[in-house]
Amino acid sequence: MVSRLFERGNNGIDHAGSRRLLESGVLMNFWAKVIFPIGLVGLLSLMLPGSLRADTVYTYTGNAYTACYGTYASNGTTCAGPYAPSITLDVMAGTPLANLTLGGPGSNITTDVSTFSFTDGSGLNVNQGNTNYLSIAIGTDINGDITSWAIYGGCFDAVLAQCVYSYSGNYDESIQGSPITGYAINYADSGTWAPPVTSTPEPSSYLLLGTGLLGLVALARKANAMRPVPL
């Protein structure tokens, strides 16, 4: 009883209880205004489709061109080297890729491809940064493997720079130069797509996971801080 009166002080105010209320209020205010909003944003981010899923990467290896002209040729239409197309597609996580019919709904994945790259083995490199036109359409099986495709990467106007065309049904073609200085084709034996592989999720995805977990902690702490503090 004496210690209780001492704790309250001469004026009868419970200083210890008031201090606890003040500290609790400051802590609750900090969690509510700072940590809780950050954690909530992270938690909502985790609910976005594909936030922690990996991209799908396709790789195409074409067979050697059978006819070459200009800078591709060494004599007439004889190819000067073992030129062959190679294509890589990095498709963003969450893109439906199974059972697509070429030309049907969802088969044009141009806007879903985060990285497109092409090389012909002779130094011609085409990507999203140096083309004025890009169209990527695919057909797939139940596993998402590419079974048919129509890829146009490059130019359709009078100022030709560097282009690649690849179609299912034995057709690969490369054009380089402005105006055209080299032209190579393979009409008889198109290449193959390797089974798709998944890439490692970006570090930012793990950051979202950590922030989301922080949001759960913030919710728990905020709820706990709002409980009445016994005097």
Q: Where are the domains of the chain?
A: 2-49+202-225, 63-190
Of 51, 48, 43, which Cα lies nearest the Cα of 215? Answer: 43
Q: Kindly provide the residue ranges of all beta strands, DSSP E only, lying in 85-218, ordered along the sequence.
A: 86-91, 113-119, 125-127, 134-140, 146-153, 162-167, 171-176, 182-186, 192-193, 197-198
CB atoms within 10 A of CB 36: 19
Mean pLDDT of 5-16: 49
CA quadruple 108, 111, 114, 118: dihedral, nearest 10: 50
Q: What is the mean pLDDT of the chain?
A: 76
Among 88, 81, 56, 57, which residue's Cα sits nearest to residue 166?
88
Q: Position of tokens 């704790």?
A: 7
* Confidence band for 169, pLDDT divided at 50, 70 and 90: confident
Residue 46 has what pLDDT? 47
More confident residue, 193 or 181: 193
- pLDDT in the model for residue 132: 79
pLDDT confidence band for 5 (50 / 70 / 90)? very low
Over residues 29-60, the pLDDT tens digits come to 654 555 555 555 444 544 544 445 699 999 99
| Cα within 13 Å of Cα(34), Cβ side | 6
| HSE (side-chain half, CA atoms, 13 Å) at 62 | 32
Tell me the pTM: 0.66
